[in-house]
Amino acid sequence: MNIDLKLENIGKKYIISHEVKDRYQTLRDNLSKKVKYLFRKNVKHKKEEFWALKNINFEVKSGERIGIIGRNGAGKSTLLKVISRITEPTTGKLKINGKVASLLEIGTGFHPELTGRENIFLNGIILGMSNAEVKSKFDEIVNFAEVEKFLDTPVKRYSSGMYVRLAFAIAAHLDPDILLIDEVLAVGDVGFQKKCLGKMEEVSNKQGRTILFVSHNLGAIEKLCSKCLLLENGEIKFFSSDPSEIIKKYLSNELILSSYWENIKNIYINQYFKPIKFYIGDKMGNLLTMPVRNNEDFYIYIQGEINELDNSLTIGFAVFDEINNCLFWSYQTDTKDTNWPKLKKGNNTIYCKFPNNLLNEGNYRLELICSLHFRKWIFQPSKDNPSINLNIKGGLSNSSYWMIKRPGIIAPILQWMLKK
Amino acid sequence: MGKETKKQTINIEAGRTEKNYWLDIWKYRELFYFLSWRDIIVRYKQTAVGLAWSIIRPLLTLLIFTVVFGKLAKLPSEGIPYSILVFSGLLPWSFFSNSFSESSNSLITNSNLISKVYFPKIIIPISSIVTCFVDFIINFILLLGLMLFFRFIPKATILLVPVFFFIGFLFITGFSLYVASLNVKYRDFRYIVPFIVQIGLYLSPVGYSTSIIPKELKIIFSLNPMVGIIDGFRWAITGKTVLYLPSLYLSIVISLIMLVFGLFYFRKTEKFFADII
């Protein structure tokens, strides 16, 4: 078998500057800083290095399907970015054999003013097809996306479903040797997701293409991938040809450790709300280890620093199940205004009780979400924000008839009565 | 499977510059072509008046300049209809100012592409310059119409317009590449761009002829490379104005230096675009 991809000692370093709020600098700040240094020579730059990837070594043979899993911030997306050449590695060597196409976010380069037809060509070429290739696959793409009637309508008038279908259809008809996929299956309705999964299986099985697939959807990884790679803090923790084994290891590791998140790297810096801790604890605030029983009381704690108090600040969490369905959101502002916790400048810890006997037994991911209400996301769901895991096991009910897990996402206990 | 075509191998090593960069640009020529095509289509789709806008705008500017400089300030016209004198300067200037403003912002407006797909990023600013070339052609046709109106017959020197255009193109490309990369790094740089365009308009002989500049100041005035380029255009189009050669040489030299410097700076910073944009 040919080797399609070879990574040797790949590392990627980012510099985090603690003075800069955003990723880019402004000339004004830079000039004023330089002036400051002229007068005070001893001031040191508070810059910190952060290795998003460290010491990555692996090979991918032709036709292999590699699933990449790991927690948010483990370096999965950075790894794909390095392989797709979007960003350059800081250390190491990378050898790519063949044409690479990446679906880091479908619909990249769609222009709302252009029609469906025009966007098929533009997007196809952006994703690496040639003009001739797009032409020859045009009908297939249109059929797959089911948008024949709207080909000459600007995509800004498309429904979001049509938009996603068209975008995926183009991506699915790329013909690269190596395909990189990052979480595209998190979009669209269930029917379309199934269609996408089917298409991916067809692509990898029949056409023998090499695929690297990043996802939180562990079920899809288990189903589709022939090998699995687990990343932790930018390093490869496990890499083997038994995906279910690795998924099991990942989950069991997650279960014990991951109900607690702390901002060790000192990132997510912003003036409105910088998270410090995010964890599941008991009433006193002590950390609880997973799993918890469904009838046991447990609380979600969020600690963070506010530099600029904004009245529209909402802080909370979003709950996702194992296959990445969003179950619900909760914010500190969900009640009547007068009952909101009063935030102050500086360090705040807010907490809430998680309802008993609501969710079924299983693994859930809690993501910290935070926004200025209807103005700006500070932590948007599924955008690499702090996340912890909740594992519920046992305590489903006191009934002797309900001892083991039943089907369904939720497992509430309803009170039954006899009508008189 | 079946087809076993020869796969291309790419080697990437940290810290080593890509050898195939220029070859890559050639490989991505279709993307280049489509990005320019997109910009042109979107430009004329978005504005309600569409194509008419690129005719109305230069004509309005022309009218204002002719009235203010020719009629009110009564600047010398060197025996040419004042509107033709102005338009021959406006032609290179509007190409410069449009492509400079568009391409220096182009990386930011296309940030979603840069952070999601690999391609030689130089394609983006250059394709927005190409987009402005369409306006240049429209303006040139307008100029021919204006000549017809004034029954002004150009000399054979008008065939040299492409030469001066080429010098201008080199300068604009270099300058835009430099500013475009600065713009990614320092996001407030975009506020400086309109300022440069505005100041430049008065420091370049657009609304007036170079003949009104005192002799001893001429060489300093010519440090602005647009002076030699605009004068060249005017000389080639009208065939009557004097071409001050030292300023033309200066323009050529400065344009070449700017191009090399712009390319160099762009290549140096390009690697970090996806990380900071």
B116/A contact by beta carbon, under 8 A: yes
- Residue A124: in which H helix or E strand, if any? helix A116-126
Residues of B in contact with A126 (CB under 8 A): 31, 34, 113, 117, 119
Q: What average pLDDT does range B78-88 have in this prediction?
A: 85
Confidence band (pLDDT; 50, 70, 90) for B4?
very low
Residue A43 has pLDDT above 70, yes or no: no
Q: What is the pLDDT of residue B3?
A: 42
Q: What is the pLDDT of residue B238?
A: 87
What tokens does A295 get?
A: 């009838």
Q: What is the pLDDT of residue A38?
A: 61
Confidence band (pLDDT; 50, 70, 90) for A221?
confident
Q: What is the pLDDT of residue A23?
A: 54
Closest partner CB to A27 (pick from B46, B112, B186) = B186
Residue A376 has pLDDT above 90, yes or no: no
Confidence band (pLDDT; 50, 70, 90) for A40?
low
Residue A370 has pLDDT above 50, yes or no: yes
B72/A contact by beta carbon, under 8 A: no
Confidence band (pLDDT; 50, 70, 90) for A160?
confident
For testing the chain B interface, which of A51, A91, A126, A207 should be mutated: the one with the most B CBs within 10 Å?
A: A126
The answer to whether the CB atoms of B9 and A104 lie below 8 A apart is: no
Question: Chain A residue closest to B108 (CA)?
Answer: A24
Question: Chain A residue closest to B113 (CA)?
Answer: A109
Mean of all residue pLDDT scores within chain B: 86
The answer to whether the CB atoms of B118 and A126 lie below 8 A apart is: no
Question: Chain B residue closest to A182 (CA)?
Answer: B116
What tokens does A93 get?
A: 């060597």
Mean of all residue pLDDT scores within chain A: 84
17-56 of B, contacting A, C-beta below 8 A: 30-31, 34, 38, 41-42, 45-46
Closest partner CB to B274 (pick from A86, A96, A125) = A86
Percent of chain A with pLDDT over 70: 88
Q: Which residues of A31-44 are buried (b: 16+ CB within 10 A; e: fewer)?
A: eeeeeeeeeeeeee
Residues of A in contact with B277 (CB under 8 A): 24
DSSP class of A93: E
User: What is the residue-wise DSSP string for B213-276?
Assistant: S-GGGHHHHTTSHHHHHHHHHHHHHHS-S---HHHHHHHHHHHHHHHHHHHHHHHHHHTTHHHH
Confidence band (pLDDT; 50, 70, 90) for A257?
low
For β-strands A178-182 and A100-103, DSSP reports them as: parallel
Confidence band (pLDDT; 50, 70, 90) for B6?
low
Residue A184 has pLDDT above 60, yes or no: no
What tokens does A359 get?
A: 């969710």
122-181 of B, contacting A, C-beta below 8 A: none
Q: Which long-range contacts (CB under 8 A, 24 or more apart) does A280-284 make?
A: A280/A354, A280/A366, A280/A388, A280/A390, A281/A351
Q: Which CATH class is domain A258-392?
A: mainly beta
Confidence band (pLDDT; 50, 70, 90) for A276?
very high
The answer to whether the CB atoms of A92 and B14 lie below 8 A apart is: yes
The answer to whether the CB atoms of A84 and B187 lie below 8 A apart is: no
Query: Looking at per-residue confidence, does A12 or B6 come out higher?
Result: A12
Residues of B in contact with A27 (CB under 8 A): 182, 186, 188-189, 192
The answer to whether the Cα torsion of A214, A216, A220, A223 is positive or negative is positive
- Distance between CA atoms of A187 and A182, rounded to whole angstroms? 11
The answer to whether the CB atoms of B118 and A208 lie below 8 A apart is: no
- Looking at 3.40.50.300, 1.20.58.100, 3.40.50.1980, 2.60.40.10, the CATH number of the domain A3-12+51-255 comes to 3.40.50.300
Domain with CATH 2.70.50.60 in chain A: 258-392
Q: ipTM exceeding 0.85?
A: no
Per-residue pLDDT tens for B147-204? 999 888 888 888 999 999 999 999 999 999 999 999 988 878 888 889 999 999 889 9
- Distance between CA atoms of B243 and B234, rounded to whole angstroms? 9
Per-residue pLDDT tens for B102-125? 999 999 888 888 888 888 899 999
A137-151, A191-205, A257-271, A292-306, range with the lowest pLDDT: A191-205
Closest partner CB to A94 (pick from B1, B12, B38) = B12
B115/A contact by beta carbon, under 8 A: yes
Closest partner CB to B275 (pick from A87, A96, A127) = A87
Closest partner CB to B38 (pick from A95, A97, A111) = A111
Rounded to the nearest angstrom, the minimum Cα separation between A170 and chain B is 15
Q: What is the pLDDT of residue A99?
A: 83
Q: Which residues contact B214 (CB under 8 A, 6 or more apart)?
A: none
Domain with CATH 3.40.50.300 in chain A: 3-12+51-255
- Distance between CA atoms of B136 and B232, rounded to whole angstroms? 16
Closest partner CB to B116 (pick from A105, A122, A125) = A105
Question: Chain B residue closest to A119 (CA)?
Answer: B38
Percent of chain B with pLDDT over 70: 94
Query: Looking at per-residue confidence, does A347 or A74 come out higher?
Result: A347
Query: Looking at per-residue confidence, does A304 or A255 come out higher?
Result: A304
Rounded to the nearest angstrom, the minimum Cα separation between A71 and chain B is 21
Q: What is the pLDDT of residue A134?
A: 92
What tokens does A67 get?
A: 């699933």
Confidence band (pLDDT; 50, 70, 90) for B49?
low
What tokens does A151 get?
A: 């080909």
The answer to whether the CB atoms of B30 and A131 lie below 8 A apart is: yes
Closest partner CB to A109 (pick from B7, B45, B113) = B113
Residue A173 has pLDDT above 90, yes or no: no
Q: Which residues contact A389 (CB under 8 A, 6 or more apart)?
A: A254, A255, A258, A259, A290, A363, A364, A365, A366
CB of B248 closer than 8 Å to CB of B233 = no
For testing the chain A interface, which of B4, B34, B190 should be mutated: the one with the most A CBs within 10 Å?
A: B34
Closest partner CB to B186 (pick from A30, A102, A111) = A30
Q: What is the pLDDT of residue B2?
A: 38
Q: What is the pLDDT of residue A47?
A: 64
Residues of A in contact with B275 (CB under 8 A): 14, 23, 87
Sorted by where each begins, the domain ranges of chain B are 21-276
